[in-house]
Amino acid sequence: MTSKPKDFISGLLVFLVLFNVIDALFTVVWLSLGIPEANPIMARFSQSPVVFVLLKMTVVCWGSLILWFHREKKLASYGVYGLSCFYFGVTVLHVWLSWLFITKVMT
Protein backbone atom coordinates (compact mmCIF):
# COMPACT_ATOMS: atom_id res chain seq x y z
CA MET A 1 0.00 0.00 0.00
CA THR A 2 1.28 3.46 -0.86
CA SER A 3 1.43 6.35 1.53
CA LYS A 4 -0.43 9.63 1.08
CA PRO A 5 2.64 11.70 0.08
CA LYS A 6 3.45 9.19 -2.68
CA ASP A 7 -0.15 9.34 -3.93
CA PHE A 8 0.04 13.14 -3.86
CA ILE A 9 3.27 13.11 -5.88
CA SER A 10 1.69 10.72 -8.39
CA GLY A 11 -1.31 13.03 -8.72
CA LEU A 12 0.93 16.05 -9.22
CA LEU A 13 2.80 14.20 -11.95
CA VAL A 14 -0.49 13.54 -13.75
CA PHE A 15 -1.31 17.25 -13.52
CA LEU A 16 2.22 18.11 -14.68
CA VAL A 17 1.70 16.06 -17.85
CA LEU A 18 -1.76 17.61 -18.36
CA PHE A 19 -0.39 21.14 -17.89
CA ASN A 20 2.28 20.36 -20.48
CA VAL A 21 -0.32 19.09 -22.95
CA ILE A 22 -2.23 22.34 -22.45
CA ASP A 23 1.00 24.32 -22.84
CA ALA A 24 1.83 22.47 -26.07
CA LEU A 25 -1.64 23.09 -27.53
CA PHE A 26 -1.62 26.78 -26.64
CA THR A 27 1.91 27.12 -28.00
CA VAL A 28 0.90 25.59 -31.33
CA VAL A 29 -1.96 28.10 -31.55
CA TRP A 30 0.35 31.01 -30.67
CA LEU A 31 2.91 29.82 -33.23
CA SER A 32 0.21 29.66 -35.92
CA LEU A 33 -0.56 33.31 -35.12
CA GLY A 34 3.08 34.26 -35.66
CA ILE A 35 4.01 34.60 -31.98
CA PRO A 36 7.43 33.01 -31.32
CA GLU A 37 8.12 30.28 -28.78
CA ALA A 38 9.46 31.78 -25.53
CA ASN A 39 11.66 28.78 -24.68
CA PRO A 40 14.86 29.16 -26.75
CA ILE A 41 15.53 25.41 -26.73
CA MET A 42 12.04 24.47 -27.94
CA ALA A 43 12.02 27.38 -30.40
CA ARG A 44 14.46 25.41 -32.56
CA PHE A 45 11.73 22.80 -33.10
CA SER A 46 8.79 25.17 -33.49
CA GLN A 47 8.75 25.11 -37.31
CA SER A 48 6.86 21.80 -37.26
CA PRO A 49 3.95 21.59 -34.81
CA VAL A 50 4.00 17.78 -34.92
CA VAL A 51 7.71 17.56 -34.12
CA PHE A 52 7.33 20.26 -31.46
CA VAL A 53 4.47 18.49 -29.64
CA LEU A 54 6.00 15.01 -29.96
CA LEU A 55 9.37 16.20 -28.65
CA LYS A 56 7.82 18.16 -25.79
CA MET A 57 5.58 15.29 -24.71
CA THR A 58 8.38 12.73 -25.01
CA VAL A 59 10.69 14.79 -22.80
CA VAL A 60 7.91 15.54 -20.28
CA CYS A 61 6.70 11.94 -20.07
CA TRP A 62 10.22 10.53 -19.67
CA GLY A 63 11.06 13.19 -17.09
CA SER A 64 7.84 12.50 -15.20
CA LEU A 65 8.56 8.78 -15.24
CA ILE A 66 12.06 9.38 -13.82
CA LEU A 67 10.61 11.63 -11.10
CA TRP A 68 7.95 9.04 -10.30
CA PHE A 69 10.56 6.28 -9.88
CA HIS A 70 12.48 8.56 -7.49
CA ARG A 71 9.40 10.04 -5.77
CA GLU A 72 10.59 8.87 -2.35
CA LYS A 73 13.65 11.13 -2.57
CA LYS A 74 13.31 14.71 -1.38
CA LEU A 75 14.96 16.22 -4.44
CA ALA A 76 12.51 14.47 -6.77
CA SER A 77 9.58 15.60 -4.61
CA TYR A 78 10.81 19.19 -4.68
CA GLY A 79 11.21 18.91 -8.44
CA VAL A 80 7.65 17.67 -8.84
CA TYR A 81 6.29 20.46 -6.61
CA GLY A 82 8.31 23.13 -8.38
CA LEU A 83 7.54 21.96 -11.91
CA SER A 84 3.85 21.55 -11.11
CA CYS A 85 3.69 25.10 -9.76
CA PHE A 86 5.65 26.43 -12.73
CA TYR A 87 3.47 24.75 -15.35
CA PHE A 88 0.31 25.70 -13.48
CA GLY A 89 1.55 29.28 -13.79
CA VAL A 90 2.29 28.78 -17.50
CA THR A 91 -1.24 27.42 -17.99
CA VAL A 92 -2.76 30.40 -16.17
CA LEU A 93 -0.61 32.72 -18.31
CA HIS A 94 -1.81 31.05 -21.52
CA VAL A 95 -5.45 31.36 -20.46
CA TRP A 96 -4.98 35.00 -19.42
CA LEU A 97 -3.18 35.92 -22.65
CA SER A 98 -5.88 34.14 -24.66
CA TRP A 99 -8.56 36.10 -22.84
CA LEU A 100 -6.70 39.35 -23.57
CA PHE A 101 -6.26 38.39 -27.21
CA ILE A 102 -9.91 37.39 -27.66
CA THR A 103 -11.25 40.50 -25.96
CA LYS A 104 -8.93 42.67 -28.05
CA VAL A 105 -10.05 40.99 -31.28
CA MET A 106 -13.73 41.22 -30.31
CA THR A 107 -13.56 44.99 -29.63
Please write the tens of the pLDDT for every residue from 52-70: 999 999 999 999 999 999 9
Alpha helices in the chain (DSSP H): 4-32, 40-43, 49-69, 74-106
Q: What is the mean pLDDT of residues 30-54?
A: 94
Give the per-residue pLDDT at 3.
Answer: 64
Q: What is the mean pLDDT of residues 66-87?
A: 94
